[in-house]
Amino acid sequence: MDVDQIVFWVFAPISVGSAIAMLLQRNAVHAALFLVVNFFTIAVFYLVLGASFLFAVQIIVYAGAIMVLFLFVIMLLGVDREESLLERLKGQRVVAIALGVGIAVELIVAIRAGIGFATKAPPDFDEVVNRGGNAAAIARVLFREYFFPFEVTSVLLIVAAIAVVVLASRRRQVITRADASRANEREAA
């Protein structure tokens, strides 16, 4: 067995298992932590697949920044709040799980129909595509063909930052009695 096979067969169950575990946690913090585990496994997959740059970015951005942000917010909103197990919508769980299984099955069938289960990757990826290392290779593609989308995403990030500042600021507005009571009536209905 090759190294990548061993790596795959070790980390794949961990990946799926941590995802399911995240699903089942009643405590939000626990769920977030399981998700972090899942992100780590995915990073390993990236590495095996020859995307070392993404391996690094995944850990830095996703596990390091995004999940930390999640944890901040969870703590802001109450860490020890446990979600109730009672499902108010009838049949929601059953249908959801059925549909989830259905999606999985459909996708797997599509994979089989599309590329078949036996296709292996071509062997010359590291020599040809990742010449000079994966980061350099990505830079070669990113700053030439995908330059415009790159700039657009930078704009996107600025916009997001501004949006968050606006959303999160507590504006001291004068809320009249009428507004408040009308709002409360609407919410009560």
Partner 1 sequence: MSTPISYFVVVSAMLFAIGTVGVLVRKNALVIFMSVELQLNAVNLALVAFSRMHGNLNGQVLAFFSMVVAAAEVVVGLAIIVTVYRRRQSSNVDDLTVLRG
Partner 2 sequence: MLDLIWLIPALPLAGAVVNLFLGRRLGKAAGWLATALVALGFVLAVAVLLDLLSLPAEERLHVANLFDWISVGTLSVDVALRADPLSITMVLVVTGVGSLIHLYAVGYMEHDPRFGAFFAYLNLFVFFMLMLVLADNYLLLYLGWEGVGLCSYLLIGFWYDRPLASSAAKKAFVTTRIGDAAMLLGIVLIWVHLGTLDFGAVFGERASELTQGAATAISLLLLAGAIGKSAQLPLHVWLPDAMEGPTPVSALIHAATMVTAGVYLVVRSHVLFELSGTALTVVLVVGLVSALYAAVASIGQFDLKRALAYSTMSQIGFMFFAAGMRFYTGAMLLLVCHAFYKALLFLTAGNVLHGLHDETDMRRMGGLRGQMPVSATWFAIGALSLAGIPPLAGFFAKDQIVGFAATSDRELAWVLASIGAFLSALYIARPLFLTFFGRRRGEERAHEAPALMHAPLGVLAFLTVVGGLVLGFTAEGGRLAAFLEPVVGPVEHGEAALSEGALIAVSVVLAVGAVAVAFWIWASGRVDWEAFPERQPELAGWLANAFYLNALYGWLVQHPGKGFGRALTVVDERVIDGAVNEVGDEVIDASGIAPRIQRGFVRSYALAFLLGAVALLLFLGLRA
* 110-169 binders of partner 2 (CB under 8 A): 110, 113
**Nearer Cβ to partner 1 (165/178):** 165
- In order of 3, 52, 55, 90, 126, the CA distances from 140 in angstroms are 29, 15, 18, 53, 15
Instruction: Write the Ramachandran bin of 132: left for phi over 0, alpha for psi from -120 to 50, otherwise beta.
Output: left
**Nearer Cβ to partner 1 (5/181):** 5
The interface partner of residue 30, options being partner 1, partner 2, none and the CB cut-off 5 to 8 Å by kind, is none
For CA atoms 135, 141, 144, 148, the dihedral sign is negative
Considering the rule CB under 8 A, would residue 108 count as an interface residue with partner 2? no
- In order of 33, 56, 69, 119, 137, the CA distances from 66 in angstroms are 12, 14, 5, 34, 26
Binding positions for partner 2, 14-73, rule CB under 8 A: none
Cβ 163 to partner 2 shortest distance, Å: 21
The interface partner of residue 94, options being partner 2, partner 1, none and the CB cut-off 5 to 8 Å by kind, is none
Q: Which residues on neighbouring strands pair with residue 27, listed in sequence order?
A: 82
Q: State which of residues 103, 129, 157, 164 lies at the interface with partner 2 (CB under 8 A).
A: 103
Give CA–CA dist 19/23, Å, rounded. Answer: 6
Asked if residues 55 and 134 have their Cβ atoms less than 8 Å apart, the reply is no
**Nearer Cβ to partner 2 (76/113):** 113
**Nearer Cβ to partner 1 (127/177):** 127
Size of the chain in residues: 189
Cβ 103 to partner 2 shortest distance, Å: 6
Considering the rule CB under 8 A, would residue 82 count as an interface residue with partner 2? no
Give CA–CA dist 147/118, Å, rounded. Answer: 36
The interface partner of residue 142, options being partner 1, partner 2, none and the CB cut-off 5 to 8 Å by kind, is partner 1
The interface partner of residue 113, options being partner 2, partner 1, none and the CB cut-off 5 to 8 Å by kind, is partner 2
Question: Interface residues with partner 2 (CB under 8 A)?
Answer: 88-89, 92, 95-96, 99, 102-103, 106, 109-110, 113
